[in-house]
Each structure stands twice: as structure tokens, then as C-alpha cells.
Amino acid sequence: MNDLSYYILYQQRLRFIGFLAEVDESDLVRHDSSSSDSDNKEKKSSSSSSSSLKTKVYWSMRLEGHKPTQFTLGSALRVCSSLGLIQPGEMVHGYVVKNGFESNVFIVVELVDMYEKCKCIFEAEFLFKGLTFDRKNHVLWTSMVTGYAENGDDRKAVEVFCYMRQ
């Protein structure tokens, strides 16, 4: 790694540490327009605090030099996905690529799901198309169909569903 790469990674790390220090857990709750205020308050107290804690634990592990397993990475990606946090998710994706986890279907499913829920369907599609047909499981296919539908591309959702059934 050259000095410039190290500097950029170091700056990203400092920004993320600042993000963790300044984050207000109430800001991490994804608000659903169909939910009532009381539903949102319940979500804040349960899912936000546990997801925020999981995110902090993951990044603390990384900063202390611990190497995450596929399960740790999957959990971190699920948290980013559920909270709609694209930048930390992209940082985890970078770790996945750098450390050879990109061929792990379990991790790819979590990455695809995270990108879809963060409205980055192009990135999800790129990951999906990067796997050969025999490596795609039902969970990954279902995730792509759901992602297209949730992002408003019903035609593409039906197309992928029909292709999956062949």
C-alpha cells in the first residue's frame, strides 16, 4: 500500500470514528411514511439501539485489528442495510473485496440486499451479474426480484423472476 492509499484510508477511518461519536441514535431509525409516530418511537427504542450498538462493536473490532468472519461481515452489512447507511456499507464492501470474501455467496447476498435497500440498484445488479448462474441461490434471486420491485422497476423484477424459474 502506498502512502497516498494509506492516507486516504486513514482519513476515511477518522471520518467514520467521528460519525460514530456524533451519531444520534434517533437519526439512525429509518422512518417509514406509512408508520405512525408511536410505531416509530417503538422502533427507536428497540431496533435503533441494538443496530447502533452492533455497528459500533463491528467498527471497534476493526479498529482494534480483529479480523471479521463471514458472519461478522454479514451482520455488519445487515445493520447498514436496515438503517440505510450506504457509506459504512461501502467501507465493509471494500474490506470484503480486499480480503477475498467477494466469492462468498452469503456475503454477496448481504451486499446486494444492502445496496438495494440504500437505493443503489446499479451496484446490486453489478454484484448479482458477477456471479455465475450456478453460484446464485434462491435467496440471492429473491433479493434481486425484491430489490427491483422496491426500487420501482417492476418490469425488471418480473424479468429476473422468469429467468430464475428457467
113 pLDDT band, cuts 50/70/90, is: very high
Inside any domain, residue 118:
yes
- Whether 87 has a pLDDT exceeding 50, the answer reads yes
The 10s digit of each residue's pLDDT in 24-79 is 444 444 434 444 444 444 444 445 555 555 666 666 776 777 788 888 888 889 98
Within-domain flag for 39: no
pLDDT digits (tens, 9 = 90+) for 117-136: 999 999 999 998 888 877 88
Residue 38 lies in a domain: no
The domain total for the chain is 1
Q: Where are the beta strands (DSSP E) in 36-134?
A: none
Give the up-direction half-sphere exposure of residue 117: CA atoms within 13 A in the CB hemisphere.
22
Residue 28 lies in a domain: no
Q: What is the pLDDT, as a whole number, of residue 3?
A: 58
Q: Is the residue at 43 inside a domain?
A: no
Mean pLDDT of the chain: 75
Write the pLDDT tens digit of every residue in 100-109: 888 888 999 9
Question: Is residue 11 assigned to a domain?
Answer: yes
Which pLDDT score, from 0 to 100, does residue 50 have? 56
Which residue in 166, 141, 91, 81 sits closest to 127, CA to CA? 141
User: Which pLDDT does position 109 carry in this prediction?
Assistant: 92
pLDDT score of 158 = 93
* 105 located within any domain: yes
Q: What sign does the CA torsion over 40, 42, 43, 44 have?
A: positive
Domain coverage including residue 113: 3-23+49-165
- In this structure, is residue 44 part of a structural domain? no
